[in-house]
Protein backbone atom coordinates (compact mmCIF):
# COMPACT_ATOMS: atom_id res chain seq x y z
CA UNK A 1 0.00 0.00 0.00
CA UNK A 2 1.49 3.30 -1.07
CA UNK A 3 1.27 6.34 1.26
CA UNK A 4 -0.79 9.19 -0.05
CA UNK A 5 -0.38 12.90 0.61
CA UNK A 6 -2.96 15.06 2.37
CA UNK A 7 -5.62 16.67 0.26
CA UNK A 8 -6.21 20.39 0.05
CA UNK A 9 -9.40 19.99 2.06
CA UNK A 10 -7.55 18.24 4.89
CA UNK A 11 -4.91 20.95 4.92
CA UNK A 12 -7.58 23.66 5.12
CA UNK A 13 -9.33 21.87 7.99
CA UNK A 14 -6.04 21.53 9.87
CA UNK A 15 -5.30 25.25 9.34
CA UNK A 16 -8.78 26.18 10.55
CA UNK A 17 -8.36 24.10 13.72
CA UNK A 18 -4.94 25.61 14.34
CA UNK A 19 -6.38 29.13 13.88
CA UNK A 20 -9.16 28.43 16.41
CA UNK A 21 -6.66 27.08 18.96
CA UNK A 22 -4.33 30.06 18.48
CA UNK A 23 -7.23 32.53 18.81
CA UNK A 24 -8.31 30.86 22.06
CA UNK A 25 -4.76 30.96 23.42
CA UNK A 26 -4.38 34.60 22.38
CA UNK A 27 -7.65 35.57 24.11
CA UNK A 28 -6.61 33.75 27.28
CA UNK A 29 -3.24 35.51 27.22
CA UNK A 30 -4.86 38.93 26.80
CA UNK A 31 -7.30 38.25 29.65
CA UNK A 32 -4.51 37.01 31.89
CA UNK A 33 -2.44 40.10 31.13
CA UNK A 34 -5.40 42.41 31.88
CA UNK A 35 -6.12 40.56 35.15
CA UNK A 36 -2.47 40.81 36.17
CA UNK A 37 -2.38 44.55 35.39
CA UNK A 38 -5.56 45.11 37.42
CA UNK A 39 -4.19 43.07 40.34
CA UNK A 40 -0.91 45.00 40.35
CA UNK A 41 -2.76 48.34 40.22
CA UNK A 42 -5.02 47.29 43.11
CA UNK A 43 -2.04 46.08 45.14
CA UNK A 44 -0.18 49.36 44.55
CA UNK A 45 -3.27 51.38 45.42
CA UNK A 46 -4.00 49.50 48.65
CA UNK A 47 -0.31 49.49 49.57
CA UNK A 48 -0.19 53.27 49.27
CA UNK A 49 -3.32 53.56 51.42
CA UNK A 50 -1.92 51.25 54.09
CA UNK A 51 1.40 53.13 54.15
CA UNK A 52 -0.46 56.38 54.70
CA UNK A 53 -2.51 54.86 57.53
CA UNK A 54 0.68 53.55 59.20
CA UNK A 55 2.20 57.03 59.08
CA UNK A 56 -0.94 58.71 60.38
CA UNK A 57 -1.26 56.17 63.20
CA UNK A 58 2.36 56.80 64.24
CA UNK A 59 1.78 60.56 64.28
CA UNK A 60 -1.43 60.21 66.29
CA UNK A 61 0.22 57.87 68.78
CA UNK A 62 2.84 60.58 69.29
CA UNK A 63 0.24 63.37 69.54
CA UNK A 64 1.00 65.92 72.26
CA UNK A 65 -1.28 68.07 74.33
CA UNK A 66 -1.77 71.35 72.45
CA UNK A 67 0.45 74.18 73.60
CA UNK A 68 -0.14 77.92 73.24
CA UNK A 69 -1.77 78.69 69.89
CA UNK A 70 -2.30 75.00 69.11
CA UNK A 71 -5.44 72.88 69.05
CA UNK A 72 -6.51 69.39 68.15
CA UNK A 73 -9.03 69.99 65.37
CA UNK A 74 -11.26 67.54 63.52
CA UNK A 75 -13.67 69.11 61.05
CA UNK A 76 -16.43 67.18 59.27
CA UNK A 77 -17.23 67.61 55.57
CA UNK A 78 -19.24 70.67 54.64
CA UNK A 79 -22.91 70.14 53.81
CA UNK A 80 -23.27 68.85 50.26
CA UNK A 81 -19.50 68.36 49.89
CA UNK A 82 -17.74 65.01 49.36
CA UNK A 83 -17.23 62.98 52.56
CA UNK A 84 -13.81 64.46 53.32
CA UNK A 85 -13.01 65.23 56.95
CA UNK A 86 -9.89 67.23 57.86
CA UNK A 87 -7.58 66.84 60.85
CA UNK A 88 -4.89 69.01 62.48
CA UNK A 89 -2.92 68.18 65.63
CA UNK A 90 0.46 68.64 67.36
CA UNK A 91 2.74 65.62 67.39
CA UNK A 92 6.25 64.66 68.44
CA UNK A 93 6.59 62.50 65.30
CA UNK A 94 8.29 64.63 62.70
CA UNK A 95 8.46 64.11 58.97
CA UNK A 96 10.94 65.33 56.36
CA UNK A 97 9.54 68.87 56.47
CA UNK A 98 10.86 69.28 60.00
CA UNK A 99 14.38 68.58 58.77
CA UNK A 100 17.02 68.22 61.46
CA UNK A 101 15.05 69.82 64.26
CA UNK A 102 16.15 69.05 67.81
CA UNK A 103 14.53 66.10 69.53
CA UNK A 104 11.58 67.13 71.63
CA UNK A 105 10.32 69.81 69.27
CA UNK A 106 6.70 69.48 68.26
CA UNK A 107 5.30 69.62 64.77
CA UNK A 108 1.75 70.52 63.84
CA UNK A 109 0.52 68.32 61.03
CA UNK A 110 -2.70 68.49 59.08
CA UNK A 111 -4.44 66.17 56.66
CA UNK A 112 -7.17 67.10 54.22
CA UNK A 113 -8.41 66.16 50.75
CA UNK A 114 -8.04 68.62 47.87
CA UNK A 115 -10.43 68.22 44.95
CA UNK A 116 -9.09 67.10 41.58
CA UNK A 117 -10.25 69.16 38.61
CA UNK A 118 -12.44 67.21 36.22
CA UNK A 119 -13.05 64.32 38.67
CA UNK A 120 -16.07 65.13 40.84
CA UNK A 121 -16.00 63.34 44.17
CA UNK A 122 -12.36 62.28 43.82
CA UNK A 123 -9.49 64.12 45.47
CA UNK A 124 -5.89 63.91 46.63
CA UNK A 125 -5.10 63.55 50.32
CA UNK A 126 -2.45 66.13 51.21
CA UNK A 127 -0.35 66.61 54.34
CA UNK A 128 1.06 69.81 55.78
CA UNK A 129 3.66 70.07 58.52
CA UNK A 130 5.08 73.02 60.41
CA UNK A 131 7.13 73.34 63.57
CA UNK A 132 5.04 74.55 66.50
CA UNK A 133 3.86 77.18 67.02
CA UNK A 134 2.04 77.27 63.69
CA UNK A 135 3.43 80.01 61.40
CA UNK A 136 1.16 82.71 60.00
CA UNK A 137 1.56 81.39 56.45
CA UNK A 138 0.30 77.90 55.67
CA UNK A 139 3.06 75.38 54.95
CA UNK A 140 3.12 73.78 51.50
CA UNK A 141 0.90 70.77 50.88
CA UNK A 142 2.56 67.45 50.14
CA UNK A 143 0.40 64.99 48.12
CA UNK A 144 0.14 61.72 50.02
CA UNK A 145 -2.58 59.66 48.34
CA UNK A 146 -4.42 60.11 45.04
CA UNK A 147 -7.88 58.83 44.13
CA UNK A 148 -9.53 59.49 47.50
CA UNK A 149 -13.33 59.29 47.47
CA UNK A 150 -13.85 59.43 51.24
CA UNK A 151 -11.92 60.46 54.34
CA UNK A 152 -14.05 59.97 57.43
CA UNK A 153 -12.72 60.45 60.94
CA UNK A 154 -14.19 60.61 64.40
CA UNK A 155 -12.83 61.11 67.91
CA UNK A 156 -13.61 59.22 71.09
CA UNK A 157 -14.07 60.90 74.45
CA UNK A 158 -15.45 59.41 77.66
CA UNK A 159 -19.01 59.55 76.34
CA UNK A 160 -18.82 58.39 72.73
CA UNK A 161 -17.66 59.11 69.20
CA UNK A 162 -17.74 62.61 67.68
CA UNK A 163 -17.23 63.80 64.09
CA UNK A 164 -16.22 67.27 65.33
CA UNK A 165 -13.41 68.04 67.78
CA UNK A 166 -11.90 71.43 68.57
CA UNK A 167 -10.12 71.87 71.83
CA UNK A 168 -7.07 71.92 74.00
CA UNK A 169 -7.63 68.34 75.15
CA UNK A 170 -6.79 65.25 73.14
CA UNK A 171 -9.42 62.63 72.34
CA UNK A 172 -8.83 59.17 73.72
CA UNK A 173 -8.84 57.61 70.26
CA UNK A 174 -9.31 58.49 66.61
CA UNK A 175 -10.99 56.30 64.01
CA UNK A 176 -9.94 56.78 60.39
CA UNK A 177 -11.61 55.43 57.24
CA UNK A 178 -10.11 56.11 53.80
CA UNK A 179 -12.14 55.24 50.70
CA UNK A 180 -10.03 54.88 47.56
CA UNK A 181 -11.28 54.89 43.98
CA UNK A 182 -11.08 51.30 42.72
CA UNK A 183 -10.61 52.37 39.10
CA UNK A 184 -14.11 51.23 38.12
CA UNK A 185 -16.21 53.92 39.79
CA UNK A 186 -16.41 52.08 43.11
CA UNK A 187 -14.65 52.48 46.44
CA UNK A 188 -12.28 50.29 48.44
CA UNK A 189 -12.10 51.26 52.11
CA UNK A 190 -9.32 50.96 54.66
CA UNK A 191 -10.22 51.55 58.31
CA UNK A 192 -8.25 51.72 61.54
CA UNK A 193 -8.49 53.19 65.01
CA UNK A 194 -5.66 54.47 67.18
CA UNK A 195 -5.46 55.27 70.87
CA UNK A 196 -3.72 58.52 71.75
CA UNK A 197 -1.11 57.80 74.37
CA UNK A 198 -0.97 61.34 75.75
CA UNK A 199 -4.75 61.57 76.23
CA UNK A 200 -6.26 61.72 79.71
CA UNK A 201 -7.11 58.28 81.11
Strands 161-162 and 187-195: unpaired
Q: Is 67 domain-assigned?
A: yes
- Could you report the average pLDDT of every consecutive run of 10 residues in the chain (201 residues)? 66 83 80 77 81 93 85 89 92 62 70 90 92 71 93 92 91 94 85 84 57
Rounded to whole angstroms, how far apart are CA atoms 175 and 101?
Answer: 29
pLDDT score recorded for residue 60: 94
Strands 187-195 and 123-131: unpaired
Contacts of 134 (CB under 8 A, 6+ apart): 69, 70, 108
Q: Is 127 domain-assigned?
A: yes
Q: Is 22 domain-assigned?
A: no
Give the structural domain span for 147.
47-195
Structural domain total, the chain? 1
Q: Is 8 domain-assigned?
A: no
SS3 of 108-134: EEEEEEEECCCCCCCEEEEEEEEECCC
Q: Is 140 domain-assigned?
A: yes
Q: Is 201 domain-assigned?
A: no
Q: What angle do CA 154, 49, 181 make, to 5 degrees?
A: 90
Q: Is 184 domain-assigned?
A: yes
Amino acid sequence: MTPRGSTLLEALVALAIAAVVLAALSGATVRARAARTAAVARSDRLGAGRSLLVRLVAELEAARRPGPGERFVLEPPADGAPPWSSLRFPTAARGPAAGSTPAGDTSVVSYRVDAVAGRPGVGTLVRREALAPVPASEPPAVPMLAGVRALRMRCLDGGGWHTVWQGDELPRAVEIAIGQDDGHGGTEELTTAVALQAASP
